[in-house]
Amino acid sequence: MPKNKQRIQIDLANEQVALMDSVSEQLAIRSRAELIQQAFALFLWAVDEALTGNQVISVEPEQARKIAHYKEVSIPALQPLVFQNYQYLTARPHPWKKQLFLKGRNMTVGQLMATIQANHLTDEEAAADLNLPLEQIKEAKAYYHTHQTLVDVEAQEETARLANKGYPSDAAP
């Protein structure tokens, strides 16, 4: 272990560990250590704000526009969940998928990327084959590259769910 790091051990109830793992999965966080580091960074920010006399509050986006001055906390793990102004992509309610879908299609960005990769398509070929605007392909690819961990984790989850239902994997034996 590097000299500038120390290992710590904490005791948590089984329910707390299960909640940590669930949050990590939902946010596509790679490890418990990463989750704790991000939570600790948020805690330090809140402490710093409180020590300077500021209040840490939660407001609806419409109400935030009415406040003259405020600071917004940035938590990297939550960025895939934050609304971004995409022209060709949209969020849809889903029990466990958090990645965006292509507008006008029942297709996630991950499904589009899998199709492009499996068929070795250029952006132009994908647009023509799937009857999509070229700009939609490019926007989806840009989203994928900034949210690749989330998309890949969800693809693994989908494969596992299908396997649990008895559907064979596409992977060769």
Which of 117, 99, 104 lies closest to 155 in space, CA to CA? 99
Which of 116, 118, 140, 111 lies closest to 126 in space, CA to CA? 116
pLDDT band at 23 (very low <50, low <70, confident <90, very high): confident
**In the predicted structure, residue 151 carries a pLDDT above the cut 80:** yes
pLDDT for 70-122, tens place per residue? Answer: 777 766 666 555 545 688 999 888 888 889 999 999 999 999 999 999 999 99
3-state secondary structure of 1: coil
3-state secondary structure of 11: coil
- Answer yes or no: are the C-beta atoms of 154 and 97 closer than 8 Å: yes
Cα separation, 126 vs 1, whole angstroms: 47
Running DSSP on this structure, what letter comes out for residue 29?
A: -
**In the predicted structure, residue 154 carries a pLDDT above the cut 50:** yes
Question: The domain 89-164: what is its CATH number?
Answer: 1.10.10
pLDDT for 30-52, tens place per residue? Answer: 888 888 888 888 888 888 888 88
pLDDT for 47-68, tens place per residue? Answer: 888 888 888 888 887 787 788 8
3-state secondary structure of 141: helix
Domain boundaries for CATH 1.10.10 within the chain: 89-164
Which of 109, 108, 111 lies closest to 140 in space, CA to CA? 109
Query: What are φ and ψ of residue 102, in 5° steps?
Result: -80, 130
pLDDT band at 147 (very low <50, low <70, confident <90, very high): confident
